[in-house]
Structure 1
């Protein structure tokens, strides 16, 4: 009953906030429209700056500045009467705090039960492969090899002429009952594929540059040594992995502009300069549409998208602190996001709708989930960035999610971290379910 009451209070608070926002939009409608117009002009100008050269690029820069001026003017008008606005903001923050607290209590009553440390059975012959060059030398900087030795973990240092896949296979052949990889996402995916093939658990040690896989698992990226405790705590966690044409990936596959740019040899040393030089040719008015086609689950055929991202579990594409991360790694689905704008006007329309939270209403934005997915091309091949690696793959590219296919060993506190992240992936529907006495579908 207390959970139902809190759910009802949370719904009421959300309704009050909605009405307050609607009233604000009605009172400041003209100025908000000016701000949106400025936003559209600035986006169109930015598109020209990116995709054009010479006088057109200068014109785009002028439009960008003009749009920013319009936004500033609109904000100055809307925010007149500072004291009253501050009071309203404080009230809104208080209502939001009540809504958040009640929603948390209603939807995740058993979260703190996971705070208790539990231990599994440590592997008897674990092996950790270390890439000394990854992450600008994180393996040496954090003393990963010595820290692993203290835990009784055999370490193998990847040399410049070594075959990483063969090292992992040889370790299993010698009797390794757990494989770990201290390196970047591409190395993690390769060693994880060998662990899956031989049905042994895998330990992800975040010793790369960005370590998106570790981030979305809720592992410590700042100090990789903390992740090494997974060998000792041995708490098993099942997560999904995905494949493209049978090749495993743990993060995502990117096609279109990004995948084309990363094929260039100069990209690694001069990322910004390479992108700036290529974008006008890839997205400008004389550019050919990308040879990429797919069909959505709703049956809509899409051709020529300049950006397609297929991820192992969907990313949170929202205006929140979770934007760009995966709250869950066990949904059993692929996340697909594609953008098919080809002009500055179309880009401005998409961005204006995005600012209003209505990007899904745009015909140029495609976002959905699927268990399996296919991308075609007329040429029979397409560039792809697979977990950051530049590849040229045959088409059709067939993507597939493999639910709970990867056995991870994680530190004992990782279960609670993962549960807190999942708890942020809630909806009004789940809150209504609790309020009406039904089991929420989280």
Structure 2
């Protein structure tokens, strides 16, 4: 069978490379897995169309996506629906899913890890049927992403700078909205500033990403309605990987979550894996355990064993 590598030339890291040269080198490396490898270079505008074409290619059984988190999320959704195996080549700014997989963030080192990676069935979530691998969010995070999209994010430095500027605006003017949330034990109503439903629980890391992708749960995060000072405090805790310790943040796990926003204003946005979409009045998030076949580096299994032993020691 064939490996088809799809490289998003608009991804942050690849902009400074000769994309064709890098793609040819990467395919030569991946062919060491014993499969033919072909590369397709695309722009962000043509990404979805190309992914869907490859999903319908009967000779391709593995799609290796090279790009940022948006590219990886789109490829994961296609693989989830088509049953193909996903490979991840981190070429973005944050590379959150790659971090969850314990992939090196250097492209060359990531290729080395993919050559010897094992296929493993990991979890993926959906929000009203739309697949995502990281999180669906409303409120603080969604407003941050929306504000950042209005600024210059053409380079890694500019994207980080734009994120900081947008964060300042969100801290000074935090959203407040009504939400009804049902995690399976009854519906609760609350005025909040943030709601996020993640694909597995986030780890205790400065960047919010799951350290395990096969626990078969959603992480449900909600904050009370916050004033600027409390948003600033929560931001500091998040920067040190201590968001669960914030007194205004509630965290739980669930297999399915129903969200309702009875008084949403027209034009209110949500974010799903970093992409801004219109917020629907009712949203159902569902975990699909083991539904995403993925190339997983050896380091992921080693990290899972370490976490298991730490949990066992903590409970002893």
- How high is the TM-score relative to the length of structure 2? 0.79
Equivalent residues of 1:144, 1:225 under 8 A apart: no
1:335 touches 1:369 (CA, 8 Å); kept in 2? yes
Residues 143 and 170 in structure 2, CA contact (< 8 A), matched pair in contact too: no
Does 2:133 correspond to 1:250? yes
User: Compared with structure 1, are the counterparts of its residues 271 and 280 closer, same or farther at alpha carbon in structure 2 (3 Å cutoff)?
Assistant: same
Q: How far has the Cα of 1:413 moved from its partner?
A: 4.9
Relative to structure 1, the CA distance from residue 277 to residue 407 in structure 2 (aligned partners, 3 Å threshold; closer, same or farther) is closer
What's the CA shift for 1:158? 0.7
Cα deviations by residue, 1:264-300 (Å, 9 ceiling, x for unpaired)? 45345533334434543435xxxxx324332455546
In the alignment, is residue 177 of structure 1 matched against residue 54 of structure 2? no
Aligned to 2:289: 403
Per-residue deviation at 1:260? 2.2
Cα distance between partner residues in 1 of 2:117 and 2:260: 42
Of the three residues 359, 368, 371, the one matched with 2:255 is 371
Question: 2:102, 2:297 within 8 Å by CA — same for their partners in 1?
Answer: no
User: Cα deviations across residues 327-382 of structure 1 (Å, max 9, x unaligned)?
Assistant: 2111100011111043479779999x99xx997795x4311000000111124674
Q: Secondary structure at the residue paired with 1:259?
A: helix
Q: CA deviation at 1:230?
A: 5.8
| 2:9 aligned to which of 132, 136, 139 | 132
Residue equivalent to 2:81: 197
Residue 428 (1) aligns with residue 306 (2): no
Aligned residue among 250, 271, 281 for 1:385: 271
- Residue 241 and residue 427 in structure 1: after superposition, are their counterparts in 2 closer, same or farther (change >3 A)? farther
Distance 1:349 1:128 in 2: 42
What is the RMSD computed on CA atoms of the aligned residues? Answer: 3.4
Residue 161 of structure 1 deviates from its aligned partner by: 4.4
What is the distance in 2 between the residues matched to 1:199 and 1:240?
13
In the aligned structure 2, how far is the partner of 1:360 from the partner of 1:161? Answer: 40
Structure 1 stretches lacking a partner, 5+ long: 1-123, 284-288, 432-442
Q: How many residues align?
A: 294
Q: Do the aligned partners of residues 147 and 426 (structure 1) sit closer, same or farther apart at CA in structure 2, a change above 3 Å counting?
A: farther
Match of 2:23 in 1: 145
Q: 1:227 and 1:359 mapped to 2: Cα distance?
A: 30
> SS of the residue aligned with 1:394?
coil
Distance 1:225 1:358 in 2: 33
Alignment of 1:297-312 (within 5 A): 297-299=184-186, 301-312=188-199
Quick check: 1:218–1:418 contact (8 Å CA) kept in 2? no
Q: Please give the alpha-carbon distance, in whole angstroms, between the structure 1 residues aligned to 2:312 and 2:16.
A: 38
Alpha-carbon distance in structure 1 between the residues aligned to 2:6 and 2:110:
14
Structure with the higher helix share, 1 or 2: 1
* 1:165 counterpart SS class: helix
Pair 1:316 & 2:203 matched: yes
Deviation at 1:420, TM superposition (A): 3.0
Kept in 2: contact 1:126–1:176 (CA 8 A):
yes
Partner of 2:34: none
TM norm structure 1: 0.58
Does 2:153 correspond to 1:294?
no
Segments ≥4 residues shifted beyond 6 Å:
344-351, 357-361
Verify the 8 A CA contact 2:141 2:271 in the aligned structure 1. Answer: yes
Q: Is the 8 A contact 2:69 2:95 kept in 1?
A: yes
- Whole-angstrom distance in 2 between the partners of 1:402 and 1:199: 13
State the distance in 1 between where 2:168 and 2:207 align: 25
Alpha carbons 2:183, 2:256 under 8 Å: kept: no
Structure 2 residue 49 is matched with structure 1 residue 166: yes
Give 2:116's match in structure 1, choosing from 233, 252, 255: 233
3-state SS, counterpart of residue 177 of structure 2? coil
Q: Which residue of 2 aligns with 1:419?
A: 305
